A and B are shown apart, each in its own frame.
Chain A
């Protein structure tokens, strides 16, 4: 008998996962595929902790995805490869729930509200929930620079915000949309790799000093946020941008978690 029993270590306790396993194949993203001589198959997110070959025991260790043990947040992304939209293009956005830009597939949105602010005017955006993702379609009418923001109430008050640009314009000075906790960029135009990007945190419209801001980027392999920042007395802090994809900034205060998605243009 050459098969092994596979055990998994969950919170310090060993559990039998599968008996008489004769095939194990490690895959991407910490997946391990296993198959027993009875034809039972299973894929699990874990890593091999120990192999006791004489005793035919393989012990796995559970890998918790960040989304499982961290506080959930919501964030918006533009549904374009391009970083901005062109005139006449259909403008679509997505709202996700999860952590560290990793989507929590099990989350069920209850009443997500999405609004848009342009030229000082706010309007509600129609939303559609599709397999755990909120889809926002603004049609083709929009032009210029807009801010889209989302809100969902649950255990905490979750907010998300993003800039949306249609056509090529130059903008200076960005107004806060007025969220109870809000991240705004100091300079909307300036977001380049290899440069510092400055943001400001506002609480009820006023700069929040000493706020802990976390930052991450799309596609990171870090389980938790890779960057931790603290705002200065003006509520400002900055991050040197090195990743190719979009960045997400997240700040928490009391019962509120608020995110800001920085969309890169290239």
Chain B
């Protein structure tokens, strides 16, 4: 890459397609950057708690650099478009929740209707393409308060993750983090092998 990519572009390239959910995540991420006055090299000190595992989270990962791999993305499986972004350096956190009506209007409804269809006629494909353009513009230009509810919250930063030991599974021979290994009669077993052997 030979140029700094704008946040939106980062998110689209990471996610692979443009969709309303991703764009909502872009707005939330951009708001967090602005409100928490985040620096360019911010990812190490940031923490995101996401309450959904759908498209918007990919914006959080690509724009804010809070990723599964780095351990600064915490997933709570609540099925809610809610993102809490916390900055260690600033000692501040904001909770950003998508408003219930943010994506409820005829434009979005029709887009969703077409999106779940298995087969689109050429006319419907064109309609879908044009609707996505309109949805895109409406999300990116909407006043933030119209689509999100947000406030600063108290946030307890978890301890930095300690480095765990890796043990070898006595059945498959693969490595497994000590906290996840199960000690059985024949020796240490990984969760996969433990379940295979009828364990819970």
Contact = CB atoms under 8 A, between A and B. Distances in A.
Interface stretch (B79-87, B109-117, B134-142, B155-163): B134-142
Contact of B12 (A222, A244, A265): A244
B136 A194 contact: yes
Nearest to B136: A242
Nearest to A47: B122
A43 B123 CA distance: 20
Contacts of A194: 6, 8, 23, 26, 136, 140
Contacts, number: 48
B53 interface: no
A221 B6 contact: no
B2 A168 contact: yes
Interface string A178-193: 0000000000000011
Nearest to A63: B122
Given A194-B136, A221-B126, A222-B129, A240 B3 contact: no
B133 interface: yes
Interface residues of A, number: 19
Given A47-B122, A168-B2, A192 B9 contact: yes
B129 to A, nearest CB: 6
Contact of A221 (B5, B26, B125, B137): B125
Contacts of B188: none
A240 B125 CA distance: 21
Given A47-B122, A221-B126, A266-B13, A243 B133 contact: yes
Given A242-B133, A242-B137, A222 B13 contact: no
Interface string A188-231: 00001111000000000000000000000000111100100000
Nearest to A240: B137
A191 to B, nearest CB: 11
Contacts of A244: 12, 18
A102 interface: no
A1 to B, nearest CB: 30
Interface in A46-66: 47
A197 B8 CA distance: 16
A74 B39 CA distance: 45
A223 B130 CA distance: 12
A168 B130 CA distance: 33
A122 interface: no
Given A194-B8, A226-B133, A168 B3 contact: yes
A266 B11 CA distance: 12
Nearest to A86: B2
A80 interface: no
Contacts of B132: 242
Nearest to B1: A266
Interface of B: 2-3, 5-6, 8-9, 12-13, 18, 23, 26, 122, 125-126, 129-130, 132-133, 136-137, 140-141
8 contacts: A192-B8, A193-B6, A194-B8, A222-B126, A223-B126, A226-B130, A240-B140, A242-B132
Top 9 A-B residue pairs of the complex, sorted by shortest distance between their CB atoms: A242-B136, A242-B133, A194-B8, A221-B126, A194-B140, A240-B137, A266-B9, A221-B125, A222-B126
